[in-house]
Amino acid sequence: MDNQKEYTNDIIDEDLYEEFEDEELYELVEEARKEALQRIEERKQNKKQRTPFPKWIFWIIAFALMFNIVALLPQTFSIPAVDFLITSAKLSTQDNIKTYKEAVVVIETDNSKGTGFSINEQGDIITNYHVIEGNQTVTVAFPEDGLFSGEIVETYPEIDLAVVRVDSHEQLPYLPLADTFLYEPKEQIYFIGNPLKFQGIANKGNIMDYVYVNSKDLPMVMLDAPVYKGNSGSPIIDEAGEVIGVIFATMDHKEEGRVGLFIPIDYFYDYRSINKEQVN
């Protein structure tokens, strides 16, 4: 890490929470594609038809239909926002990703939605402070274990982290935390969150480097990956299946372009330790 501090503006909420309508477009395109494929299947089963329907005509019609849908929303369509759905679908067939997703939750307040993840069987959940700020309780939704009321028990606004605790009589799925954040440049990681209007979207990216940002005293870590609204609080998971950081923002880097930012897990340990010492 370069010891010389070069501060860069990060954008919390505004970027993660900007208005995208890509998911609506994706649904329209998928619906049109399914309808077109259904028509082809019906024609194949119609043995009385004398002249087969030329495939090239179907593709022209399908392409024209998709083109028209895109043309209706020229300002909201972005290829990366559709690509991350395709990537998630592929990753979600992996057994390890399926297991990770069980511990990743939706956190909702009256005016925000974000991501969190369980860190033990008792139901302690890490998320971003800005997701729960101003609230004493939140709603927590596990993908397999249902809804819970969560109490905010720890807050560390300096590093934008918080801990939410749910009351469960059952053992909850969780993600183990790494002992420390160690990485190699370009190291591949996974992250799971609730971007846009979706839930449980898995994706992957590469760790880039540390960077100083105006809103934080400590350096954060840049991530080359598609980070969107709702990814706040998403766990960064290494190849060993351990959480090494937490997504909290995106920024436009002058050299790297649009990147995600995450908080190294070491900062959580450090601030939690300081808090315990102050309490004692």
Decide if pLDDT at 255 tops 90: no
- Region 31-56: mean pLDDT is 60
Q: Give the side-chain half-sphere CA count within 13 A for 3.
A: 0
pLDDT(72) > 80: no
Q: Which amino acid is at 220?
A: M
- Mapped onto helix, strand or coil, the DSSP state of residue 41 is helix
- Least confident piece of the model among 4-8, 129-133, 165-169, 178-182: 4-8
Q: What is the pLDDT of residue 19?
A: 37
Identify the band that residue 32 occupies on the pLDDT scale cut at 50, 70 and 90: low
Q: What is d(CA 258, CA 231) in angstroms, rounded to the nearest whole number?
A: 15
Res. 210 pLDDT band, cuts 50 70 90? very high
**Backbone phi and psi for residue 276, each to the nearest 5 degrees, phi listed first:** -65, -40
- Say which residues have a Cβ less than 8 Å from residue 135's Cβ, sequence separation at least 6: 109, 110, 152
* Structure confidence at residue 21 (pLDDT): 44
Please identify which residue in the block is written with the tokens 């340990």.
269
pLDDT at residue 48 above 60? no
pTM: 0.74
Nearest by Cα to 108 from 90, 88, 125, 86: 125
